[in-house]
Amino acid sequence: MTTMAELTRRGIIGIVKVKHPPVNALSYGVRKGITECMKKAESDPAIQAVVLCGDGRTFPAGADISEFGGKFAEGPDLRSVLVTIENLRKPVVAAIHGTALGGGLEVALSCHYRLMHTTARTGFPEVALGILPAATGTQRFPRVTHLANAIEMITSGRHITAKEAHSKGIVDKLVSGDIIQEGVTFANDIASKPYRHLMVSTKPVIGAENAQQIFDEARKRLASRAVGGPIAPMMCLKAIEGAVKMPTFEKGIQHEADLMYLLMTSGQARAQQYAFFAERAVSKWELPDGATNSRNTKPKAVKTAAVIGAGTMGTGIAMTLLSRGIPTILIEQDQKFLDRGVAAIGKLIAYQVNKKRISNEQAQKLHTLLKPSLHYADLKDVDIVIEAVFENMDIKKTVFRKMDALCKPSAILASNTSNLNIDEMATVTKRPGSVIGMHFFAPANVMRLLENIRGRQTSGETIATVMDLSKRIGKVGVLVGNCYGFVGNRMLHMYGAEASFLIEEGCLPHEVDQCIKVFGFPMGFFQVADLSGLDIGYKARKGLGLIGKGLPERFRFGQRYSPISDIMVENGRLGQKSGKGYYNYGKIGGRVPERDPETEELILNFCKKHNIQRRRIAPQEVMERCLYPLINEGFKILQEKIATKDEEIDTIWMTGYGWPRHTGGPMYYARNFVGLPKIYERLLYYKAQFPDSKHWEPCELLRKEAMQQAKL
């Protein structure tokens, strides 16, 4: 194993530089390297103080997550590295730039002084990986910053700016020049003064006098989110408690290590670490034939963009592009709608200013980057156009014809459709290779997922450009194939259908939603449906011919159909936008869902009309019926090569649909928490119970893999 740190000298200052691109993760070679360099610096009489820093773009951004692998990493552990640094007989200055995260911050806390570049960020993201800062972070951190801050940061995983870190006492000084030179200047200054050894481990916990109250409040806050949630936040809190309650620092460290062991061996930590790598794996796309991929295809430059349609999605998409400095033309068909869209963007910008996320000058810049227009001719110079007009194929085709006629030949034409056929839109253009789907999620300026849909003829260059643009605008771009609903909505349709059947058979909406929330989703299916608006699905079903006179109410196109959602819409219950849907919200746009006797009456009347004997349905059945058809559909999607790997499906569900990260997404959950043989067996069980629902038919790929897993 090569050593991944080097020691050099500038005058009386030793510089220990970590060299492990891209993020200087603290893998075995780094830990070994730091230890060796520190010992050399200690024994070199020419060195009087040491600067510890990272090469390239960052100070160490944490432990090497790929070393975790379900067990503790091999080699000198990080804690012993920290002991070496803290006990060094010469002062050590951490010179932080980039991101000092997790283990990186723990390293900095073992140093005697901390300098931070004004552009750097820091934090303890361990909780998002299902673990805790186990290299003494939970013990040292409340000794440099107030206990309440330490709890908030460690249990949330929030990254903070240099300015905040300084105001919270985490770093001693902010600098804005070359980080190594600043470190050397600071170290020279220290070396010239009488020696003071500042060991964080020997300091008292800040705010310990009010510890009980602080812990009680934090426990209450975390408990409110604990049902169905991950266990790591509460374990982080328990570990920090050790800093106050354990008699010595060493006992606190042991307590921290015991809790870390529990977390590390839990299925949740493994799932959350899988989620971390899955999110990165999706950027490495490839076409199903394997020939064209992210490694061999170059993106085109995107300097300007246009969005067509200034409604809910169009304004959010425009805001996203503007926020990343991309000049954007917003096209509408009518002045009234254009004005409404521009006002909506103005509100989004003002919100950012109010939240102090951007300055007034930056807000002004965003306004100047936006060009509202009623003229398609203004599209002539843009590099990409994203249409977000009504979800109707005829309208979309008309818009694609116009875009094709007016845009320059190299421009990419994208659609934000949530379900419709990208290939059909491409047929009306002379550039099918430049046509692609870019399915943003509402609210588009907030949601991180961007499902990019490749049509049959979409070129590698178009895909590379859109995947690159996704990252640039802060989205997690996932490339998928073209089919009705793509990956996310196609799987959602299965879940939605079963959720509706369950309320026909005996559940009430809040009962189904409660089970889903206990599983870990932030909202149940019916709450989400109310939030999105029930009329959207209604219009889509109408477009598909699923709604109309003469159709049997509970059976359409050869399979069981639930008209419950249609009944809601036909009774004026569109969701939050009309103040009532499955739930009552008190007023139009209200957000707090209350059970509604009117909804329940509509459901019971429907059952009476069809002589349905309602029954008590156990939570286990609710869970299995909501999740297993969705998982089965995921396997079908893999089988049809609409997705090329589990990570794509899992990332879509975790970033776009609220699937709980501590179970790793539907595919990971099926394989690792439930087991494919069990899923397969339950699909067969429900298939026998509900022969009129085709979605219980196990997919061939799932059957095969279940058989293989059963043999192991």
Instruction: Write out the two tokens for 624.
Output: 């299995």
Dihedral of alpha carbons 292, 293, 296, 300, sign: positive
190 touches ligand NAI by CB under 6 A: no
Least Å distance between CB 450 and ligand 3HC? 15
> Which of ligand NAI, ligand 3HC, none does residue 99 bind to, with CB < 5 to 8 Å depending on kind?
ligand 3HC
Indicate if 553 belongs to the active site.
no
Contacts of 101 (CB under 8 A, 6+ apart): 61, 62, 121, 122, 123, 124, 125, 159
In which element (H, E) is residue 92 found? strand 92-96
Least Å distance between CB 661 and ligand NAI? 22
Closest CA to 446 of 346, 312, 273, 557: 312
602 touches ligand NAI by CB under 6 A: no
Determine which one of 106, 182, 387, 624 is catalytic.
106
Complete edge-to-edge strand list for the sheet that includes strand 121-123: 99-101, 121-123, 159-161
- CA–CA separation, 91 and 366 (whole Å): 46
Instruction: Write out the two tokens for 440.
Output: 């943003």
> Which of ligand NAI, ligand 3HC, none does residue 442 bind to, with CB < 5 to 8 Å depending on kind?
ligand NAI
Q: What are the φ and ψ backbone dihedral angles of 106, each rounded to 5 degrees?
A: -65, -40
Contacts of 274 (CB under 8 A, 6+ apart): 650, 664, 668
Determine which one of 6, 67, 86, 126 is catalytic.
126
125 touches ligand 3HC by CB under 6 A: yes
- What CA–CA distances, in Å, run from 404 to 385, 425, 432, 521? 10, 11, 10, 41
Among 37, 81, 92, 101, binds ligand 3HC (CB under 6 A): 101
527 touches ligand NAI by CB under 6 A: no
Among 50, 53, 135, 313, binds ligand NAI (CB under 6 A): 313
* Comparison of 15 and 330: residue with beta carbon closer to ligand NAI: 330
22 touches ligand 3HC by CB under 6 A: yes
Part in contact with ligand NAI (CB under 6 A); list of ranges 104-112, 210-218, 247-255, 308-316: 308-316
330 touches ligand 3HC by CB under 6 A: no
123 touches ligand 3HC by CB under 6 A: no
Let me know: does 412 contact 384? Beta carbons within 8 Å.
yes
Residues 361-390 that bind ligand NAI (CB under 6 A): 388-390
Least Å distance between CB 348 and ligand NAI? 14
Indicate if 681 belongs to the active site.
no
Q: How many Cα atoms occupy the beta-carbon half-sphere of 687 within 13 Å? A: 15
> Which of ligand NAI, ligand 3HC, none does residue 308 bind to, with CB < 5 to 8 Å depending on kind?
ligand NAI
442 touches ligand NAI by CB under 6 A: yes
- What CA–CA distances, in Å, run from 357 to 137, 320, 346, 360? 28, 14, 15, 10
> Which of ligand NAI, ligand 3HC, none does residue 532 bind to, with CB < 5 to 8 Å depending on kind?
ligand NAI
331 touches ligand NAI by CB under 6 A: yes
Let me know: does 441 contact 416? Beta carbons within 8 Å.
no
Name residue 10's beta-bridge partners: 13
> Which of ligand NAI, ligand 3HC, none does residue 311 bind to, with CB < 5 to 8 Å depending on kind?
ligand NAI
Let me know: does 306 contact 329? Beta carbons within 8 Å.
yes
Report the amino acid identity of residue 507: C
- CA–CA separation, 375 and 389 (whole Å): 15
78 touches ligand 3HC by CB under 6 A: yes
63 touches ligand 3HC by CB under 6 A: yes
Let me know: does 554 contact 690? Beta carbons within 8 Å.
no
Helix axes of 509-519 and 619-639: crossing angle, nearest 10 degrees: 70
320 touches ligand 3HC by CB under 6 A: no
Closest CA to 595 of 579, 609, 584: 584
Please tell me the count of residues contacting ligand 3HC according to CB under 6 A: 23
Among 10, 337, 346, 514, binds ligand NAI (CB under 6 A): 337
Total residues belonging to the chain: 712
Least Å distance between CB 337 and ligand NAI? 4
406 touches ligand NAI by CB under 6 A: no
> Which of ligand 3HC, ligand NAI, none does residue 318 bind to, with CB < 5 to 8 Å depending on kind?
none
437 touches ligand NAI by CB under 6 A: no
Least Å distance between CB 23 and ligand 3HC? 4
627 touches ligand NAI by CB under 6 A: no
- CA–CA separation, 48 and 90 (whole Å): 6
Helices H, strands E: what count in the chain?
28, 19
Let me know: does 267 contact 130? Beta carbons within 8 Å.
no
Catalytic residues: 106, 126
Question: Which residues of this chain interact with ligand 3HC, rule CB under 6 A?
Answer: 22-23, 25, 61-66, 78, 99, 101-103, 106, 125-126, 129, 133-135, 137, 280
Question: Which residues of this chain interact with ligand NAI, rule CB under 6 A?
Answer: 308-314, 331-334, 337, 388-391, 395, 399, 416-418, 440-442, 532
